[in-house]
Structure 1
């Protein structure tokens, strides 16, 4: 039986979850077939989880060769450097993102009220009922911050 990339990815993930990042990296680099985005991405995520900054940089570079415009990979690398207080590296990654004109998509949520969809995008103030919404959110925020009195 010849293992598939999916099966290799499972083994890489298991090794990584067990903290055996170096072994996972060795497996990926010694595969008889070329590692894909899923394998490298799994390994990069594991490097972030286990604070393997130097190996994470190497893995990210492999990912950038395959998928140069996926902003998620840059963000994971930036967060990895930030967690290790390597601010010069964080700025370097952000500069790379700017040079490639990569932007993180704005957060978006929606809710259906009385058969009408209401869409909310981070930073967008165009909703026709925004004043009521923000007033209600402010009231809820204040209520959450109030101390709770328990009955004895």
Structure 2
């Protein structure tokens, strides 16, 4: 693009950073990021900062990602801290995840998903006291994890199923079929185990 005289915009830069992140091209991604301001005279967007955090984190450079976040010239958003927290979960970095979680909860207090990610990070490390504290925090803020939901359309009619809900008009038939399938699976497993 540059060779043909076309000036890249923020959408192009964000796409390139995302591609570098998914492709594991850390150095190339950083070079692109720093060129946004130095070469092209544009201020990076919050999405581009998040891409760099993701880029570093996917490459296993979580401490560098944290340092990058703390040195940003703008205040990190919940998206930035959430990206770092998610990366900490993926790389089992509990202490850094705790720090990211604290910043995240100061920035965005009502997103239940963030609490669940932190709780799962603690649980994976068998830190049950921290799991309990995170759940207490969720409860004190009156946050509830939504029930699992699925649906299927049959003969132009949508059938919705919510975890724990038994109000479907054909539930007896559905449960009967599911129990028969479960029994058949167990029989097959027992057959192959012998």
Residue among 143, 146, 152 paired with 1:105 = 146
Counterpart CA distance in 1 for 2:98 and 2:57 is: 16
CA deviation map 1:81-111 (0-9, x unaligned): 1111111111111111111111000111111
Counterpart CA distance in 1 for 2:91 and 2:83 is: 12
Shift of the alpha carbon at 1:14?
1.1
**Structure of greater Rg:** 2
Counterpart CA distance in 2 for 1:108 and 1:82 is: 24
CA deviation map 1:121-151 (0-9, x unaligned): 110000111000000111111222232779x
Whether 1:94 and 2:135 are equivalent positions in the alignment is yes
Whether 1:16 and 2:57 are equivalent positions in the alignment is yes
Structure 1 segment 51-130 matched on structure 2, within 5 A: 51-130=92-171
Give secondary structure in 2 for the equivalent of 1:146. helix
Aligned length: 150
Moved over 6 A (4+): none
Residue among 76, 98, 103 paired with 1:35 = 76
TM-score of the pair, normalised by structure 1: 0.93
Counterpart CA distance in 1 for 2:93 and 2:157 is: 47
Shift of the alpha carbon at 1:114?
1.2
Counterpart CA distance in 2 for 1:147 and 1:116 is: 33
- Report which of the two has the higher share of helix: 2
Query: What is aligned with 2:17?
Result: none
Whether 1:26 and 2:67 are equivalent positions in the alignment is yes
Counterpart CA distance in 2 for 1:22 and 1:141 is: 47
Give secondary structure in 1 for the equivalent of 2:145. coil
Segments of 5+ residues of structure 2 without an aligned counterpart are: 1-36, 38-42
Shift of the alpha carbon at 1:57?
0.8
Give secondary structure in 1 for the equivalent of 2:188. coil
Segments of 5+ residues of structure 1 without an aligned counterpart are: none
